[in-house]
Structure 1
Amino acid sequence: MALGPRLDLRQSQSLVMTPQLQQAIKLLALSNLELEAYLAEALEGNPLLDTASGDNDGSAGDPEGEPGGDAPVAEAASLEADQALAADAGTANDLDVDLAAESFHHDSASDSVGLSGADSEGIDFDSFAGADETLHGHLLAQVGERFGGLEAMVAEQLVALIDETGYLRADLTELAQRLGVPLALVEAVLAEVQCFDPSGVGGRDLAECIAIQAREADRYDPAMATMIAHLDLVAKGAFPQLKRICGVDDEDLADMIRELRSYDPKPGLRFGGDAVQAVVPDLYIRQTAKGWVVEINSGTLPRLLVNRRYHAELAKGAAAKNKAWLSEQLAGANWLVRALDQRQRTIVKVASAIVKQQEGFFLHGVAHMRPLTLRQVAEEIGMHESTVSRVTSNKYLSCARGLFELKYFFSSGISATAGDGAVSSESIKSRIKAMIEAEDPKAILSDEVIAQKLSGEGHDIARRTVVKYREAMGYGSSVQRRRQKALAG
C-alpha cells in the first residue's frame, strides 16, 4: 500500500446546529420569570429591540415623538414574523432536536445572539422591603452588648461556628488551642452565649438545646432532666419505662411530654430564612362552553418589536463596518421575535395535549388522573420526547384545582385487577394518603393492610410499592405513626 497525500470525496450526513438554534432550544426550558430576565439583557444589548408597553405607547423609537409613531413598525414586525414562520419548512419542528442521537457541527460564536429580560410593569413593592435579620447578625449584636475584650473575641468565634439551625458545630478544646486561650474561658463564654436569644441557641446536640430551653422556662427539675437525657425513649414511645426512670405517674409524664413538645428543636431557623417567592404560573387553563382553553401568561413578558425606523436612521451614512453590525443586530432581533413566537406555540401545543389526556383530573380531581409519559405527548403533537421534556421543565399551570407543575401530570401506571387500562401512580398516592390520615390511632394500618385494601378496590399493587409511595409522601411506618399519635394524644 502506497503512502502519500491524496484527495478523497466523501458524502456524509450530519445535523448542523447553529448557536441560534441552541439558544432557541434553551428558551424552551426557561420559565416566564427566567425568560423575563433573559429578555432584559436582549433589550439592553440590541438597540433595535423595543417593547410595546403602556409606558411608551408605541413611540419609544420615534425620534420625532409622534403619537403612535411605531404602530406601523409593530405591524411590520409582526407580519414579518408570521411570514417567516410560514416560509420556514417544518417550523414547528425547528426546535425538535434529539441531542442524544446526532452529532453536531457548530458554527462560529459570532452567529449567536445575546438575549435576556424585560422591563417589568408597575412598582415592585417587595424591593423596598428591608433585609431579614440573620441569626449570626442577631447573635453578634448581643455579643457587643454583653462582652468586651478577649471574651468578645471568643464569643464572636463561637457565634461564627453556630449553624443555621442554632447548633454549635465545634470542638471546644480545638477552638481553645487555636485561639490560644484557656478551655475554661471558652466554656464560660459558651455558657453565656447559650443564654442569648433565641432560647436554645448554642446547644451542641438536641438534648442540650432542649435543656437550655427548659432551664429558661424554669422546668428543668430532676425528672425533666432525666427525660431529656433519654429522648430516645420518648421517640420510641416507651412510656412505662420513662415513668419508671423519671419516677413520675401518668399525669406528670403527660405534662412533661406536653412541655417537651413546646420547645423548639431548631431555634436558629427563626432567623435568616430566604424570602418566600410566589410561583408565577406560565399557563392558565379554563373551561368554556366550547371546551378547554389554554392561555400563555403574558403578564410577566414584554411584547418585543423590531424598530426598523431606528435601523434606517442609523444606517444612513454609516460606514460599511457599522452597516454590517446593524445588519447583524437586525437579524438577531428578527430571530428573537420569531423564536419567542415559536416558543409560545410549542408550549401551548404541549399543554393542550396534557389537558386532553388528563381531562379527568381537571374535571374530577387526582383520583381520575391517568398514567402519562413524555412519549405519549410527543407522539400526539408530532415532536420529539426531548422537546416535550424541555417544555415541561420549570413550567406551572393554573387551573380551577390549583397551581401545578407540568411535570406533575406525567406519572407511571398501576395495572387494575378489574376493568380496563391502568391508574396513575399519583392517584394511588392520594388514596394511600387518605387512608393514613383517616386511620384510627388505635388501629394503625400496616403496609400489607393498605395493599390489601387497594387490591380490594381494583388496584394491583405490591406491599413494597406501598412502602415506596408512603415514604415519598413523608409518612412513617405503622410503628412510627403509632408512636406519633400516642405522643399527640
Structure 2
Amino acid sequence: MNLSLKLQMRQSQSLVMTPQLLQSIRLLQFGAMELDAFVRQAVEQNPLLEVVAPGRKAKDTSAATHSEPGPADSAPARSGPLQGAGAERGAGGVEDLADERISLLAHALREVADIFPGAPERRIGEACAMHLDDTGYLRASAADLAADLGIGQDRVSACLLTLRMRAEPAGLFATDLADCLGLQLARHGRLDPVIAIVLDNLPLLARRDFQTLRRLTGEDEDGLMDILGEIRRLDPKPGLAFARQPADIVAPDVFVTANSRGGWRVRLNTRSLPRLIIQNDYTSAVDTMAEGDRAYLAQCQQSASWLVKSLDQRARTILKVTSEIFRRQDAFLTRGVDGLKPMTLACVADAVGLHESTVSRVTANKYVQTPRGTFELKYFFTNAISASDGGDAHSAESVKLRIRRLLDEETAGAVLSDDDIAERLKEQGIDLARRTVAKYREALGIASSIQRRRELNAARLAS
C-alpha cells in the first residue's frame, strides 16, 4: 500500500446565508406587531434611522425612504361590487367606547350593602365579595374567611348562607358548579331529591350516561329528559355576565375592496407598514471625524440602506402574493365560503415566480380585510376534494360549510349519520369518504349522531 501526498483543486457551489439575506427572510415572515418591534429596535441602535409617523412628511435631508407600493387590481368580479364594503374600515385606531356595565366586584358589593345594612355583617359580606372569581364562585372557605377577619366561623357561615339565598343573580357565591345550579333551582322551589341526585352526578350527565342516571334516580327517559331540560335553562357561570373582556383586535395587512370596473382592488394597509427615513445630518461632518467614527457611520449607513430596501421588497412581495391569491379566489369575494376554490402554496409560488417557502412566509401571520370579513391569508389555502360528477374540485372549507348546513337542518326524528352525510354530499357532486366526513365533523366541533339525537330529544322535551 503506497502512501503519497497530492494537491488537488476542486470547484463547487454552495448557498451562503448572509446576515442581510437572513434579515430579509425574517422581515418577510414577521406579522405587523413583530415588524414594528423589530424596526423600533433597529432605530434605537442606528442613529441614521428615523420612523416617520403616518401623514407626516419626510425631511428634505433624508437620503432614502421606504416606498409604498401602489394598489393592484385583481381579477374581475363575477357579479357587481358588493354593497357596504368599507374602504378603510379597520385601518385606523379603535376608539375606546364607554362601557356602562359595572364589574362583578362592584355588583357584589352593592348586593352586600342591600342585604346587610348593619356594619358587622357587611364587613363579612365584603370579604366574601373580594374572593369571588370571574364566574361568580367563592374561592375561599368559611374557615379561611373567619381566620382573616378574626371572628367565629359560625358567624361567617351564617352571613354566607344569607348571601347565597338572596344575592342576585342566583348562583352567586356558590362553591362549585353543582352548588351554583342547586342555588338557582332552590330559588325557584325546584330542588327536589331527584334533581339533587342528578346534580351530585354531573360527570355522568356530561358523558350523557343516561342509563346510569335513570338507575340512580328511578326516573324513566321522559322524566330524565325533563330534568335535563330544566338544568340546561340555568346559568352555570353567573359572574360572567359582568365580565369585561377586551375585543381581540386584528389589524389587517392588506385591504381588498371592489373597484369601479367591477373587479377587486388589492392594497396594503400603510398604517401597519413602518416608514423609515435615513438622515443625512451626519454626512457633512464625516471629514472631521476620527477613523473609527467614520467606519461606524459607514456601517450604520449600509445597515440603514439595506433595511429600507428590505422593507420595500417585503411590501411588494406581500402585494404580489395577495393579488395572485384573490385572482384565484375571486368567487369567494362574491359568494363567500361556497366560492372558495382549492389552492396550494406551490401553485401560487409558480404563478408569481417565487419559491414555495417564500409564499409560506408571506402568508404567515398576515391578515386581509375583505368584504366578507377579515381572514388570515393561510385560510385561503385548502385541500382539493374531488367531484363525483367529474367537475371542478371543491375546497375543504366549502365542504365543511356544507356539512354544517346539513346538520343545522337536523330534527330529533331525522338525525344524519356520517354515512348519510357522505351520501347527501355525493348527491351534491362531492365525493367524500365516511371517515373523512367524520374527521371534518370533529374539526367543526360537532358531536356524533348518537349524541346529537340525545341533545335534540332533550331540547324538544325542554321546550
TM-score, with length taken from structure 1: 0.69
**1:234 positional shift:** 8.4
Give the SS at the match of 2:292: helix
Q: Match for 1:320: what amino acid?
A: E
Report deviation, 1:3. Answer: 9.8
The offset of 1:415, in angstroms, is 1.3
Equivalent residues in 2 for 1:115-130, closer than 5 Å: 125-126=95-96
Match for residue 100 of structure 1? none
Q: Hey, what does 1:40 align to over in structure 2?
A: 40
Task: Show the counterpart of 1:479.
Answer: 450
- Percent sequence identity over matched residues? 41
Offset at 1:276? 1.6
Distance 1:278 1:464, change over 3 A: same
From the superposition, tell whether residues 385 and 170 of structure 1 become closer, same or farther in structure 2 (CA, over 3 Å): farther
1:433 aligns with 2:420: no
> Which residue does the alignment assign to 1:443?
414
Quote how far apart the aligned CAs of 1:437 are.
0.9
Query: Which residue in 2 is equivalent to 1:206?
Result: 177
Matched, 1:420 2:368: no
Equivalent residue in structure 1 for 2:64, among 53, 77, 84: 77
Change (3 A) 1:445 1:384: same
State the superposition RMSD in angstroms.
Answer: 5.0
Task: Report how far residue 325 of structure 1 moved.
Answer: 2.0
TM-score, normalised via structure 2 length: 0.73
1:23 aligns with 2:23: yes
Kindly indicate whether residue 263 of structure 2 is the aligned counterpart of residue 276 of structure 1.
no
Query: Residues 392, 249 of structure 1: CA spacing in aligned structure 2 closer, same or farther, 3 A cutoff?
Result: closer
Provide, for residues 18-45 of structure 1, a one-character-per-residue CA deviation record: whole Å limited to 9, x for no partner: 2232222111122223323332333333
Higher relative contact order by CA 8 Å / sep ≥ 6: 1 or 2? 2
- Range with greater deviation from structure 2 (257-266 or 437-446): 257-266
Per the alignment, residue 345 of structure 1 pairs with 316
Q: 1:233 offset after TM fit, Å?
A: 5.0
- Deviation digits for residues 130-165 of structure 1 (CA, Å, limit 9, x no counterpart): 9x999899999999x9999xx99xx89x998x8765
Taking the aligned partners of 1:188 and 1:378, their CA distance within structure 2 comes to 71
The residue that corresponds to 1:96 in the other structure is none
Structure 2 equivalent of residue 354 of structure 1? 325
CA contact (8 A) 2:92 2:271 kept: no
C-alpha offsets along residues 356-396 of structure 1, whole Å, 9 cap, x if unaligned?
Answer: 22222223332232211111111222222111111111111
Contact preservation (8 Å) 2:214, 2:221: no
Is 1:396 matched up with 2:383?
no
- Please show how residues 69-148 of structure 1 align to structure 2 within 5 Å: 70=60, 73=61, 76-78=63-65, 125-126=95-96
> CA–CA distance in 1 between the matches of 2:141 and 2:8?
72
The 3-state SS of whatever aligns with 2:431 is coil
Q: How many residues align?
A: 427
2:149 equivalent in structure 1: none
Q: Give distance in 1, aligned partners of 2:160 and 2:38.
A: 48
CA distance in 1, matches of 2:4, 2:179: 81
1:226: how far off? 3.5
> What are the residue-to-residue correspondences of 1:227-266 with 2, within 5 Å?
227-231=198-202, 232=204, 236=208, 245=217, 254=226, 257=228, 259-266=230-237
CA contact (8 A) 2:163 2:173 kept: yes
Shift of 1:438: 1.7
Q: Distance in 2 between matches of 1:211 and 1:477?
A: 30
Q: Distance in 1 between matches of 2:294 and 2:33?
A: 34
- Tell me, in whole angstroms, the C-alpha distance in 1 between the residues paired with 2:299 and 2:453: 69
CA contact (8 A) 2:368 2:377 kept: yes
Equivalent residue, structure 1, for 2:77: none
Q: Is the 1:370–1:424 Cα contact (8 Å) retained in structure 2?
A: yes
Q: Give the C-alpha shift of residue 203 in structure 1.
A: 5.7
Which residue does the alignment assign to 1:94?
none
Distance 1:210 1:294, change over 3 A: same
Query: Where does residue 434 of structure 2 map in the other structure?
Result: 463
1:53: Cα distance to partner?
3.7
CA contact (8 A) 1:395 1:406 kept: yes
For structure 2, the residue ranges without an aligned partner over 5 or more in a row are 69-90, 144-151
Task: Pick closer, same or farther for the CA change 1:124–1:427 going to 2, 3 Å.
Answer: closer
**Which stretches in structure 1 are left out of the alignment for 5+ residues?**
60-69, 83-120, 174-181
The question of whether the paired residues in 2 share the 8 Å contact of 1:372 and 1:410 is answered with yes
- The range that moved more, 283-292 or 319-328, is 283-292
CA distance in 2, matches of 1:140, 1:405: 43
d(CA) in 2 for partners of 1:423 and 1:123? 38
CA contact (8 A) 1:281 1:395 kept: yes
Letter of the 2:24 counterpart: A
Partner of 1:307: 279
- 2: CA distance between counterparts of 1:237 and 1:271? 33
Counterpart residue number, 1:378: 349
Amino acid at match of 1:470: R
2:265 is the alignment partner of 1:293 = yes
Alpha-carbon distance in 1 for matches of 2:394, 2:312: 36
Assess, with a 3 A threshold, how the Cα gap between structure 1 residues 122 and 434 changes in structure 2: closer, same or farther: closer
- Contact in 2 for aligned 1:237/1:486 (Cα 8 Å): no
Contact 1:429 1:470 in 2 (8 A): yes
Contact 2:31-2:365 within 8 A present in 1 as well:
yes
Alignment of 1:142-221 (within 5 A): 200=171, 206-215=177-186, 219-221=190-192
* Aligned 8 A contact 1:30 1:394 in 2: yes
Distance in structure 1 (CA, Å) of the matches to 2:110 and 2:455: 39
Task: Write the letter of the residue equivalent to 1:405.
Answer: E
When residues 140 and 20 of structure 1 are mapped into structure 2, their CA distance, relative to the original with a 3 A threshold, is farther
